[in-house]
């Protein structure tokens, strides 16, 4: 089975979970016997990707460094669909046009059995490849423009591209029931065309000899010795992530229980607003900002934490919650986050319900028993979901489509 995988990023040049999911899914598919051509919009070295052929559509550096990453809210996009590629590569639309052109050429020589396109970024290329080859198109939705826009509507051109892709797709994969619901209700796609395939956590990658370094967050370790509980999140600081509500809940929690501190690992457009808010609420000394973290600092952020909060307003899946669980965190997750669908031993709240989040934070911080039960029990849950199972689901989907039995 030859799979044309259309992606936008892969580790270590990823700006978020999209690249991680694409990597592990491709690897599991390759292990299951698929032959994979993976197209990226930039050129860079990706270690441990021998199991597939990687194609670079441009000679650009990884895009997330210059604001064309998978998560940059494309509020400035005004270029219409089907635009011709130009010599310029200064906007995300320029890069997408070049990406389509590249895929166009690629499929002239290698005919895929299935085309697997990830998110709006590669949908146009997926449609083109389908037009040329007649191979079935699977559109894999990791996030819609509604998610990226937080509570807003988002960019209409992005919506249009998504809508067209969802219509043209032979099959749609949604990363959660929440996302499936969006696809069905907001894009008017028949429910039986959409299959939910949850992301998994590849614990093998995480258990790669990592050792916690207590010096990384030495001050937080010191506070923990003094009896403090660390509640953390590891995320981009954007509207989608619901951090302003998290901050409000943090202040409410501190009113009732003083020995709580908050680690906000990451960076983003809302950082200044969050700093200001922490001062407005009088808890600036209890909120820690790391800036963008990678490697040891990233892993240690999970480890130093006792509680992980996923405060998203709209989160199609939310792999970081599973990563946090793997680092012995008790989880508090909004009902608007897809990852919650595969977990039972967690606290849930609606992203706007700051009173409830404050309650849950205080409850865990003041009960070692509760913290222990949440932490231990959730581990049994996420280990049940594997990338091998995801690959199996995809393989059977490809097989069905190949034999012409469309849904």
Partner 1 sequence: MSQKGIVLYLHVHQPWRVSDYSIFDTASNHDYFNDQSETDRNNQKVFNKVADKSYRPMNRVLKELLDSTPDFKVSLSITGTFVEQAEKYAPDVLEDFKALVATGRVEIVAETYYHSLAFFYSREEFERQVAMHADMVKRVFGVKPTSFRNTELSYYDDIGSWAEQAGYKAVLAEGWDPILAGRTPNRPYQPPGTDSIRLLTKNYRLSDDIAFRFGNKNWEQYPLSASSYEQWLNAALNDGDIINLFMDYETFGEHQWEDTGIFEFFKSLILNWSNRSDVSFYTVTEAAESFSSAGELSMPHTVTWADSERDLSAWLGNTMQHEAMRYIYGLEHDIIRSGDMQLIGDWRKLQTSDHPYYMCTKWFHDGDVHAYFSPYDSPYDAFLYYMNAVRDVRYRLMAYHNSSHGGF
Strand, coil or helix: what is 260?
strand
State yes or no: residue 23 binds partner 1 (CB under 8 A): no
State yes or no: residue 226 binds partner 1 (CB under 8 A): yes
- Residues in contact with partner 1, counted by CB under 8 A, come to a total of 26
Restricted to residues 294-323, the positions that interact with partner 1 (CB under 8 A) are: 297
CB 286, CB 261: distance < 8 Å = yes
Closest approach of Cβ 298 to partner 1, in Å? 12
- According to CB under 8 A, which one of 51, 212, 257, 289 is a site residue for partner 1? 289
Among the candidate windows 13-21, 78-86, 140-148, 290-298, which touches partner 1 by CB under 8 A?
Answer: 290-298
Closest approach of Cβ 275 to partner 1, in Å? 5
* Distance set, CA 161 to CA 123, 138, 157, 179, 329 (Å): 7, 15, 6, 17, 38
| Choice between 3 and 361, CB closer to partner 1 | 361
Q: Angle between the 92-109 and 119-133 helix axes, to the nearest 10 degrees? A: 30
Q: How many CB atoms lie within 10 A of CB 81?
A: 13
State yes or no: residue 271 binds partner 1 (CB under 8 A): yes
Among the candidate windows 42-50, 230-238, 241-249, 286-294, which touches partner 1 by CB under 8 A?
Answer: 286-294
Closest approach of Cβ 17 to partner 1, in Å? 24
- Specify the residue for token string 């992530």: 241
Quote the CA–CA distance of 144 and 182 in Å, as a whole number: 8
Quote the CA–CA distance of 99 and 83 in Å, as a whole number: 12
Closest approach of Cβ 269 to partner 1, in Å? 12
In the chain the first and final C-alpha atoms are separated, in Å, by: 20
| Choice between 44 and 275, CB closer to partner 1 | 275
CB 111, CB 127: distance < 8 Å = no
* Distance set, CA 131 to CA 2, 93, 166, 207 (Å): 17, 21, 15, 43
User: Is-cis flag, bond preceding 12, omega within 30?
Assistant: yes
| Choice between 172 and 304, CB closer to partner 1 | 304
State yes or no: residue 349 binds partner 1 (CB under 8 A): no
Interface residues toward partner 1, by CB under 8 A: 215-220, 222-223, 226-228, 258, 271-272, 275-276, 279-280, 282, 284-285, 288-291, 297
């Amino acid at each position: 089975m030859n799979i044309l995988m259309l992606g936008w990023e892969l580790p270590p040049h990823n700006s978020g979970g999209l690249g991680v999911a694409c990597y592990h899914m491709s690897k599991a598919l390759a292990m299951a016997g698929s032959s994979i051509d993976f197209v990226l919009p930039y050129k860079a070295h990706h270690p441990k990707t021998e199991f597939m052929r990687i194609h670079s559509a441009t000679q650009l550096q990884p895009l997330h460094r210059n604001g064309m990453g998978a998560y940059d809210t494309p509020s400035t996009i005004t270029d219409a669909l089907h635009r011709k590629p130009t010599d310029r590569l200064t906007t995300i639309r320029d890069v997408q046009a070049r990406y389509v052109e590249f895929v166009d050429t690629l499929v002239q020589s290698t005919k895929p059995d299935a085309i697997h396109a990830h998110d709006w970024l590669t949908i146009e290329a997926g449609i083109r490849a389908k037009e040329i080859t007649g191979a079935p198109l699977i559109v894999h939705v990791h996030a819609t423009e509604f998610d990226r826009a937080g509570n807003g509507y988002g960019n209409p051109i992005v919506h249009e591209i998504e809508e067209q892709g969802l219509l043209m797709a032979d099959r749609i994969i949604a990363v959660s029931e929440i996302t499936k619901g969006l696809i069905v209700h907001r894009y008017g796609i028949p429910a039986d065309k959409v299959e939910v395939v949850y992301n998994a956590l590849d614990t093998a990658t995480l258990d790669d000899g990592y050792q916690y370094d207590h010096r990384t967050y030495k001050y937080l370790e010191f506070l923990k010795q003094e009896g403090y509980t660390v509640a953390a999140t590891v995320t981009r600081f954007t509207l989608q992530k619901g951090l302003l509500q998290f901050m409000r809940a943090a202040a409410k929690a501190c009113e009732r229980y003083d020995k709580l501190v908050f680690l906000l690992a990451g960076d983003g457009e809302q950082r200044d607003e969050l700093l200001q808010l922490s001062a407005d609420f009088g808890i600036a000394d209890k909120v820690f900002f790391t800036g963008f973290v990678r490697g040891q600092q990233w892993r240690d952020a999970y480890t130093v934490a006792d509680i992980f909060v996923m405060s998203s307003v709209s989160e199609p899946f939310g792999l970081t919650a599973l990563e946090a669980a793997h680092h012995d965190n008790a989880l508090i997750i909004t009902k608007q986050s897809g990852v919650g669908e595969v977990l039972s031993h967690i606290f849930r709240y609606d992203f706007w319900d700051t009173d409830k989040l404050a309650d849950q934070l205080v409850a865990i911080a003041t009960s070692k028993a509760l913290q222990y039960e949440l932490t231990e029990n959730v581990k049994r849950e996420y280990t049940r979901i594997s990338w091998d199972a995801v690959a199996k689901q995809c393989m059977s989907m490809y097989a069905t489509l190949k034999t012409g039995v469309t849904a």
